[in-house]
Amino acid sequence: MTTTMHRMLRTAALAAFVATSPLAAQDRPDPYAAPYMESMTWTEIRDAIAGGKKVAIIPTGGTEQNGPHMVMGKHNYIVTFAAGVLAQRLGNALIAPTLQYVPEGDYNRPNWGDKPGVISLPDPAYEKVLDAAVRSLKVHGFTDIILIGDSGPNQRGMTNIAKALNAEWGGAGIRVHALTDYYEQGRILIRDYLNKTYGWSEQMVGSHAGTSDTSQLLYVFSQGIRKDKMAPNGGSPDAGVQGDPTKASPEIGKIAIDFKVNAAIKQFKAAMP
């Protein structure tokens, strides 16, 4: 993640603590107090590892179209924030820089890959980047390396790398965890919650840039939403929106991120000896 984006994320987090916000400071963790490696010196990282912070989190986001109402870096903002919450709740983790280039499909795919700004890093390149990042962290002394992805196409590569490296390093005391429940279970939980709470159908909530995605970015980085451009299904067939972003709220966003982080923690703890 670039320095500019990281600064914007910190600014967004501080803005959310304003007393007039429906989400008061005491109701919301501050993930930017969490240890992001790119904001630390190498000696600070060394000392943190020596002090017991031997879990590393590699967040993967994406750079894709999200309709006229939402910025291209939606996944990057959300997963960086969520990784901070995850690290705080685990208590012994550091966070690697977010991978912004991930599989986004065919470069020439109509109404998707041809949208200006979409950048795809298909396999095997994506998996090679993950492989190199995990191998780097292993050398530094991390014993558990977590992969979380905020986009569907990220999950397969994460799983493949975790399986391959765990097989290669079996018995060495190093474990790689592809926490796919962060994305997969998180989606199911928020969809079911919105259906039970508001009666909203899966089609209404949508699967891309709809109610849930828009709510999460409203909570994490509200400046990334163009409220005057919000419309059901983006307002046109080629908008790149599936669902109704007009029903989004920061409160729903907080719930969605909690679901995702809790699902990741549950999967991680289940895999621990």
The pLDDT value given to residue 31: 59
d(CA 99, CA 106): 19
Which range is most confident: 110-119, 127-136, 168-177? 127-136
pLDDT digit string, tens, across residues 63-82? 999 999 999 999 999 999 99
d(CA 81, CA 175): 24
The pLDDT value given to residue 12: 46
The pLDDT value given to residue 165: 98
* Structural domain harbouring 97: 3-271
Give yes or no for a cis peptide into 124 (omega within 30° of 0): yes
Which CATH number goes with the domain that contains 27? 3.40.50.10310
**CB contact at 8 A, 79 and 223:** no
**CB contact at 8 A, 150 and 263:** no
208 pLDDT above the threshold of 90: yes
pLDDT digit string, tens, across residues 24-63? 333 455 656 668 999 999 999 999 999 999 999 999 999 9
Nearest to residue 12, comparing CAs of 64, 71, 88? 71
Mean per-residue pLDDT for 6-13?
A: 47
Crossing angle (nearest 10°) for helices 211-220 and 181-198 = 110
Tokens for 236, please give them.
């046109």
The pLDDT value given to residue 273: 79
Nearest to residue 190, comparing CAs of 260, 270, 87, 265? 260
The pLDDT value given to residue 109: 77
148 pLDDT above the threshold of 80: yes
Domain count within the chain = 1
d(CA 221, CA 257): 13
d(CA 168, CA 153): 24
d(CA 196, CA 189): 11
